[in-house]
Structure 1
Amino acid sequence: MNFFPSRTLAIYMAKMFIVRTLAVLALLVLVLQALDLLGESGKILAYEGNGEAELWTYVSLRAPQLIARFLPFSVLLGTIITLATLNQNSEVVSMKAGGLSAHQILAPLIVTSMGVALLSFIFNETLVAPSTARLSQWEKVEFGPIPAESNIRTNVWVKDGDNLINAGTVNGRGENVILRDITIYERTENGLKSLLQGNEARFTDTGWLLTDVTGFDVSTGSEGKTAEMLIGDSIRPDQFTLSNVKADSLSIFALSSAIDELEHAGRPTMSLKAGWWHKISGPMSSILMPLLGAVAAFGLARSGQLFIRAVLGMALGFAYFVADNFALAMGNIGAYPPILAAWAPFLLFFLIGETVLVRTEE
C-alpha cells in the first residue's frame, strides 16, 4: 500500500535523476551561452571602452535566462536518460517483479522534480527577473553605461496625438516621475514640423515643465533656446512608467502591482495576466516531465524498442513545450483567457501522460 518504493531505492533513483538533469543543464547552458556570446560580442565590443569585463557582465546577465528557459528541457532529458539506463540494466524489471507499479517506480522522480520546480520558481523571482530587466536596459543603450538605479527605464517612447516624445531615462513613479534627455518630434500629416530637445522634465498640475530647451523649426531652419517650457498637458505620468511593462522583467509581486496600476489607468492587461500565471505554471512544467518521459522506462530492452520509446518520450515532452508557447502567445493577444493560456497545456499533457502510462503499464 506504500506509494514510494523502499528508502534506499527512492534515494538511489532520485540521485541518478538529479545528477543527470544537472549534467544535461550544464552542457546545454555552456554550449548555448558560447553561441550566444559569439553572436553578441561584436555589438558589445563596438561601444568604445567596452572589453573583457563587459563580456563577463553580459554572461552573468544572460546565463540566468538560459538556465530558466532550458531547465524543463533538462528535466525531460534527465528523466529519459535515467529511465532508459534503468531499463537497459533490467532494474525496472526487477522493481516490477518486486511488486512495484509504474507509478511507484516514478514516484521518487516526481517528488524530486517538485523540489526542482520550487527552486526554479525562487531562482526566477530572485535572479532571472532582475537580470532580464538589467540586460534589457543595457541593450537599449547599445551596451553603453546605464544608470545604477534599478527603477530606471531607458529609451521610452510615448505618442501624444501626432507628436512623438522620447525620454532617454525615466526615473520614479506616479507624479514624482522625472524625465531626462527628452526629444519631442512635433509632426503634421505631411511630416516633421519641429524638434524640441530638453535636459529634464517634471510633472506639474498643468503639464510637463521642460528645462534647458533647444528648439529647431524644420520649415525655416531656425534654432532657438529657452530656459523653461510647458508641454504635454494631456500626457499622464503612467504613460512613461507603464509604457513598456514586461512580465519577464518583473517579479510576481512587482508584476501584480504593475497590473493593478495599468487597470487603474484603463490600459489592457491580458498579456501581463497570462505572464503572471505562467510564472507559476512554467516552473511546474518540471513536475510533468517524469510523467511524459516515463514511456522510456518500460518495455523489454531486448525487444529493440528502447530507442523508439526514448524518442516517443522526447516527442511528448517537446510537444508540451510547443503547446505551452502557442497557448501563451494566444493569451498575449487576448484569444485565450490568461488562466487558460497558462494552465491548459499543463493539464492537457498531464492527462495524456497519465493515459499513456495507465493504458500501457497499469
Structure 2
Amino acid sequence: MTVPVTLSLYIARQFLFSVLAMTASLTGVVCLFDFIDLLRRVATKPDVPTSLVTKIAGLHVPYFYMEIMPFGVLLGGIICFWRLTRSSELIVARAAGISAWQFLAAPLACSLMLGAFTTGAISPLSSIMYARAEALDDLYLRSGGGPLSLNGTALWLRQLDTTVDPHGVAILHARDTHLENNTLSIHDISVFRLDHTGHVIYRIEAPEGRLETGFWQLQGAQILRPYEVAAPAQTIALPTDLTLSRVQESFASPDTLSVWALPSFIAMLDRSGFSSIRHRLHFESLLALPVLAGTMSLVSAGFSMRPSRRGGVAKMIGSGVGAGFLLFTVSKVAEQFGNSGALPPLLAAWAPTGAGLCLAVSLLLHLEDG
C-alpha cells in the first residue's frame, strides 16, 4: 500500500516547518551567547568599536546553523510527531493500514534534502564567512596573532620535484619563519632532494629564503653532494605549487574551507607533507551530515510516536532529547580520537551516524511490533 500524496505532503510540510522553526530558535540562542561573549572580549579593547561585535557575530551565523541543524531536526521532529500523535492524525493513518515506515518516508526525504542543502550550499557560505570572522578576530581581539600567524614557527613540507628525477620529491625544513607584508620569509633552511627510491641525491643548505609565486627563492644556498666539495653559494629557485594562503590555511581551522574545496586542498597537504587528518575528518563529517539529519528524524519519530493516553509525555520527549545529546557526545569523542589519529577519519565521522541509525531502526521496529 502506497501513502497518498496529500498525506505525504501534509506530514512533510508539518515536519519541515517544525524543524526550520526549531533550528532557527536554537541558532538564535547560540548566536546570542556568542554575541555576549564577544561583547565581553571587546570590553577589554577600548580601541575596538562595538559595531565589530555585530559584524563578527553575524559572520558566525551560518557556522552555528551547521552545528545546530542535526539537533534542530531531532527536536523539531519530536515536536512534530508528538503533535500529530496527540491530535490522533498518525493514529488514524496507522489504523487505515499505513505503517510507520510509509508515512516516515516524506520526513526522511525532507531531512536528507535539508542535510544535502546544508552540505552543498551552506558549507561554502559558512567557510567564507567564518574565515572572514576569524581574520577580524585575529586582527582586533586576539593578542597572540591567532592561528593564521606563522611567525616563529618551524616549517616542514614535502613536495614533488621532477627537476632531477621524474618521480622525485623534495623535503624542505625551515627552523624559523617570519610573515610580514604578505611575504613569508624562512630561515636556516635545509632541502633534501630524493629520487623515486627514497635515496638522497643532494642537499641544499641556505641561511634564508622567501616564498615567491610558484617557487621558493633560496638565497646564499649551497648544494652539497655526497663525496663532492660544496658548490659556491648562489640563489636557487625551488619550484612549488604552494601559495601563502595555502600555507596559512594549513595552520587554520578546516571550517574555513568548503566541502568543494577540501578534496583538492587535502591532496595538496599530502603532497606538501602537512597533516591532513583534521581536514579529512571535517570533509567526511560534511559528507555524513545528510545521513545524520535523516537519522535524527528517525530517532525523533521513534521517541515521540507512542500514544500519550497513559501519560509519560515528558519522559518520552526527555528520552529523545537525551538520546540526541548522547549521540552528540559520542560524535565529539569520536572526533577527538580521529584528530589524534587513533581512529581513521572515515570511521570517526561515520561511526556515530551509524550508531544513531541503528538506534532509530531498533526503536521503530519495536514500535511496529516487529
| Equivalent runs, 1:172-321 vs 2, <5 Å | 178-179=183-184, 201-203=210-212, 207=218, 241-242=246-247, 243-321=250-328
Q: Which residue of 1 aligns with 2:128?
A: 130
Against the structure 1 CA distance between its residues 323 and 309, is the aligned structure 2 distance closer, same or farther, given a 3 Å change threshold?
A: same
The letter of the residue matching 1:275 is H
The letter of the residue matching 2:346 is I
* Secondary structure, aligned partner of 1:253: coil
Give the whole-Å Cα distance in 2 for the aligned partners of 1:129 and 1:317: 26
Stretch of structure 1 that moved more, 93-102 or 298-307: 298-307
Give the whole-Å Cα distance in 2 for the aligned partners of 1:273 and 1:128: 18
| Equivalent runs, 1:94-173 vs 2, <5 Å | 94-143=92-141, 154-157=148-151, 158-159=153-154, 164-168=176-180, 170=182
CA RMSD of superposed structures (Å): 3.3
Say how many residue pairs are matched: 310
Q: Which residue of 2 aligns with 1:342?
A: 349
Deviation of 1:266 (Å): 2.6
* Secondary structure, aligned partner of 2:150: strand
Deviation of 1:205 (Å): 5.8
Task: Give unpaired runs (5+ residues) of structure 1.
Answer: 145-152, 171-177, 186-197, 210-229
Give the whole-Å Cα distance in 2 for the aligned partners of 1:357 and 1:169: 60
Stretch of structure 1 that moved more, 320-329 or 76-85: 320-329
Q: Which residue of 2 aligns with 1:29?
A: 27
| Equivalent runs, 1:39-58 vs 2, <5 Å | 39-44=37-42, 50-58=48-56
The letter of the residue matching 2:299 is L
Stretch of structure 1 that moved more, 39-48 or 112-121: 39-48
Deviation of 1:79 (Å): 0.3
Q: Which residue of 2 aligns with 1:87?
A: 85
What CA deviation, in whole Å up to 9, does each residue of 1:226-276 have, x standing for no partner? xxxx99999x89596434143211122322222212211233322321221
Deviation of 1:154 (Å): 4.3
Give the whole-Å Cα distance in 1 for the aligned partners of 2:337 and 2:237: 36
Residue pair 1:156, 1:167 contacting (<8 A) in 2 also: yes
Q: Which residue of 1 aligns with 2:360?
A: 353
What CA deviation, in whole Å up to 9, does each residue of 1:115-157 have, x standing for no partner? 211221123332111112112222222259xxxxxxxx94224
* Secondary structure, aligned partner of 2:154: strand
Residue pair 2:12, 2:107 contacting (<8 A) in 1 also: yes
Calculate the TM-score normalised by the size of structure 2: 0.74
Give the whole-Å Cα distance in 1 for the aligned partners of 2:363 and 2:236: 61
Q: Which residue of 1 aligns with 2:199?
A: none
Residue pair 2:35, 2:57 contacting (<8 A) in 1 also: yes
* Secondary structure, aligned partner of 2:274: coil
Paired-residue identity, %: 23
Calculate the TM-score normalised by the size of structure 1: 0.75
What CA deviation, in whole Å up to 9, does each residue of 1:49-81 have, x standing for no partner? 643542332122111111111111111100000
Give the whole-Å Cα distance in 2 for the aligned partners of 1:54 and 1:293: 39
* Secondary structure, aligned partner of 2:34: helix
Residue pair 2:284, 2:349 contacting (<8 A) in 1 also: yes
Deviation of 1:306 (Å): 2.7
Q: Which residue of 1 aligns with 2:225?
A: none
Residue pair 1:271, 1:334 contacting (<8 A) in 2 also: no
* Secondary structure, aligned partner of 1:207: strand
Task: Give unpaired runs (5+ residues) of structure 2.
Answer: 156-172, 189-207, 221-233
* Secondary structure, aligned partner of 2:342: coil
Q: Which residue of 1 aligns with 2:163?
A: none
Residue pair 2:39, 2:50 contacting (<8 A) in 1 also: no
The letter of the residue matching 1:251 is S
